[in-house]
Structure 1
Amino acid sequence: MVPHLITALTGPINELEQRVLDSMPAIERWFRLEWMEHTPPFYTSVDIRNAGFKLAPVDTNLFPGGWNNLTKEMLPLAVQAAMAAIEKICPEARNLLIIPENHTRNTFYLANVVQLQRIFNMAGLNVRVGSISPEIKKPTLIELPNGDTVTLEPVVRTKRRLGLKDFDPCTILLNNDLSAGAPGILEDIHEQYLLPPLHAGWSVRRKSTHFKNYEEVAKRFGKMLGIDPWLINPMYSQCDEVDFAEDKGMDKLQTTVDALLTKVRRKYKEYGINEKPFVIVKANNGTYGMGIMTVRDAKELDAVNRKTKNKMAVIKDGQPVNDLIIQEGVLTQERVHEAVAEPVVYMMDRYVVGGFYRMHAERGVDENLNAPGASFVPLAFEHSTHMPQPGVRPGVSAPNRFYMYGVVGRLAMLAASYELEATNPDAEVYD
């Protein structure tokens, strides 16, 4: 079931929405067949940009925070999806341990942990929060500004299992993206379910691998729909051996940026688009909106100042950046309260469970919005029970627009499923 939300957008009419709505039965059947062959990631959030002439995912997160930004009305959907996900993995599950990020003082982030705890609790599980942070040496109660509380407890590792004192979970839910690598305490756990698996963490994962898989998904989906896959797919290139701190590899980066901008210009010309193309240069294994810059002309890289280079040189947990993805920039035509905005779609198992708009009053239509100063507007439910309305003119119906977001979000989730299969160290290899 897809939640039907009021968006703050009427937006430009586009044929893509019409084609998606006309093909709804075929699309749902296509997804159903895909999920018979592939396992969806346990939970996923996808950042989407709607340029009016194309609608594409620009980032896919396999350890999504921000669950606290979903409205109360979305909780039942999340609970149902959580039940379905847990039943598939461990039907007799009783205890679930959530392992959060180590930044224990971030109350916004901890509100997200509380929301996850609530969802799985309502799905019929005993849920506790176990920290792998060296700071947490005893059960620590933290009060949040909204009146909620969360208790972080130090994890206890025995030879084969991970838990808390007097708490033995069958399932461990990671809400920690492992940017600095998988700590030893999480390795070699064979008797419990670790979700998502360790190879979904940013120490292993690469955005270029994800978008290579997404390109394949977009081509197959585009063929079924009879559309140019570019309309739902941001082109990309990869560039390694770059060192912003030492000014190494900048020529190679400039050449890669120039080549991609040329390809984007060609597409804009083909579709009669008068916007100025741009690319986003970002860390290939980054998260938290760190290590990202917008480039409109390759020559701009000659003049990058020291502050920007320092910002690009390291990402979360002090990880150095040498490997970059250069991604076709997708404008956003979305606005909420006059601020530039982008939709973020949340999924659990194979279901869309909700979403919100990320908005940023100080950012432009061609800039990264996942930055300090961003705020979030939950997408509110419509009071009617309309399914997407096939007879309605494109661009005027919120349920139709949100259905389209959900389709693109699920395509990115499917790509993540391919990606995790391909990078699974335990997969059997057949010659």
Structure 2
Amino acid sequence: MVPHLTTALTGPLLELEQHILDAQPQIEHWFRTQWQDHAAPFYASVDLRNSGFKLAPVDTNLFPGGFNNLNRDFTPLCVQAAMSAVEKVCPVAQRFLLIPENHTRNIYYLQNVAALASILRHAGLQVRIGSLLPEITAPTTLDLPDGSTLTLEPLKREGDRLKLDGFDPCAILLNNDLSAGIPDILKDLDQPVIPPLHAGWSTRRKSDHFGKYDRVAEEFARLLHIDPWLINPMFATCGQINFQERQGEECLAAHVDDLLKDIREKYQEYGVNEDPFVIVKADAGTYGMGIMTVKDASEVRDLNRKQRNKMAVGKEGMAVTDVIIQEGVYTFESLADAVAEPVVYMMDHFVVGGFYRVHTSRGKDENLNAPGMRFEPLAFETALTLPDCAAAPDAEPNRFYAYGVVARLALLAAAMELENLAP
């Protein structure tokens, strides 16, 4: 069964979905041509927001950490996509070394690592897990809630190869976003490292990604003869911010004010009776840190000490000096009376499933990637790539097809982004 989904099913979004359904053959042909020119990332997840009048990505993660939240019915799809991704990176690969984040106390994240390792093993690979933690000096077995275990092993660098005891991997798969920088042990290896080191947050910027997404959305909008704003959040950037020292506040406030005006004009054009808002967040990083909802420029001038401290530091304690000011996209979806947003997972260029991020104490204009969130697997009756063109645009497979299309647009933008970042 598909979870109950409550959405504003009126206005331009239904029109957008109808455009997507009508153009399904052209869309799939267009994607095929794009993937000939751009190599898809090994895997990714995309956070979407469906406001009823707009459907847009708000974040793209190239080191997805929620494979344990996917519906198990989609495991075969994950395995097939993993096979395709592996063949492109290293066709003769037999052994993968999986390097996770250092969250040994986060049992949910460890379940993700176990789920990812299981997918790779079903794809025909030997998989072992190496830890960057200095305290892991011997194989360490951790218990998981389902009764299974996960063994972390210490990494060994021998020349230009990374190994474990008795295990010389063909390739290194990172599930660590390198927020704290690139460790020396990972540099200049002769084994393929996937995703590449420049995909980590020590190099990558959200503004670069959404700059590439602008280009993708414009081209896709021409294909469908729609306004690209319907699938694209506007954004601006502000550098040299120091929240604790209150430096850059006027720059930030000016960008907030300009963006709110632009959003307000679009709302008037489409008859949207909501208050425009923006999301201010660190231009690098993840895990929902350093994020705030703003509806008036005065709010970023009047931050109290607690708010400034919260915005000043991101994951791994890294100082936030650059922010992206992104058009806020309402979510009008709910699950059991809690605000929800869909997260779509991909491997290679295939959609392999997703889930709802649900939060009972957050509003429709707030970031849901925060403590207290939970996840509900999307139990699709059909895959996200199988629309029913004879049904209504908001029928379950069609709405989920639209999600898959927009997520793949973000994936394509990430492919272009990585090409640009490659050394």
- State the TM-score bracket (shorter-chain normalisation): over 0.9
C-alpha separation in 2, matches of 1:303 and 1:121? 52
C-alpha separation in 2, matches of 1:104 and 1:229? 42
Opposite residue 29 of structure 2, the aligned amino acid is R
CA displacement 1:254-283 (0-9 Å, x = unmatched): 011000101100111111111000000000
2:401 to 378, 400, 403: 403
* 1:414 alignment partner, SS class: helix
Partner of 1:97: 97
TM-score normalized with structure 1 length: 0.95
Partner of 1:428: none
CA displacement 1:357-385 (0-9 Å, x = unmatched): 00000000000000000000001132799
CA displacement 1:195-241 (0-9 Å, x = unmatched): 00000000000000000000000000000100000000000000011
RMSD of Structure 2 on Structure 1 (CA): 1.3
Conservation of the 8 A alpha-carbon contact between 1:199 and 1:424: yes
* 1:381 alignment partner, SS class: coil
Which structure is richer in relative contact order (CA contacts within 8 A, separation 6 or more)?
1
State the Cα distance separating 1:8 from its structure 2 match.
2.3
C-alpha separation in 1, matches of 2:412 and 2:44? 10
Partner of 1:266: 265
* 1:212 alignment partner, SS class: helix
Conservation of the 8 A alpha-carbon contact between 2:40 and 2:411: yes
State the Cα distance separating 1:163 from its structure 2 match.
1.3
TM-score normalized with structure 2 length: 0.97
C-alpha separation in 2, matches of 1:384 and 1:173? 26
C-alpha separation in 1, matches of 2:385 and 2:273? 36
Conservation of the 8 A alpha-carbon contact between 1:234 and 1:329: yes
* 2:188 alignment partner, SS class: coil
State the Cα distance separating 1:135 from its structure 2 match.
1.6
Opposite residue 218 of structure 1, the aligned amino acid is A
Partner of 2:188: 188
C-alpha separation in 2, matches of 1:291 and 1:271? 31
C-alpha separation in 1, matches of 2:184 and 2:39? 26
Partner of 2:19: 19
Map residues 59-208 of structure 1 onto 2, 5 A cutoff.
Answer: 59-190=59-190, 192-208=191-207
C-alpha separation in 2, matches of 1:313 and 1:338? 33
Judging changes above 3 Å, is the alpha-carbon distance between structure 1 residues 165 and 46 closer, same or farther for their aligned structure 2 residues?
Answer: same
What are the ranges of 5 or more consecutive residues in structure 2 without an aligned counterpart? none
C-alpha separation in 2, matches of 1:323 and 1:348? 30
Map residues 216-295 of structure 1 onto 2, 5 A cutoff.
Answer: 216-295=215-294
Map residues 352-363 of structure 1 onto 2, 5 A cutoff.
Answer: 352-363=351-362
Question: When the two structures are aligned, how many residues end up with a matched partner?
Answer: 419
Opposite residue 353 of structure 2, the aligned amino acid is G
Opposite residue 247 of structure 1, the aligned amino acid is R
C-alpha separation in 2, matches of 1:24 and 1:310? 47
Partner of 2:308: 309
CA displacement 1:102-121 (0-9 Å, x = unmatched): 12111110000000110000
Partner of 1:392: 391
C-alpha separation in 1, matches of 2:362 and 2:173? 34
Partner of 1:415: 413
Conservation of the 8 A alpha-carbon contact between 2:384 and 2:404: no
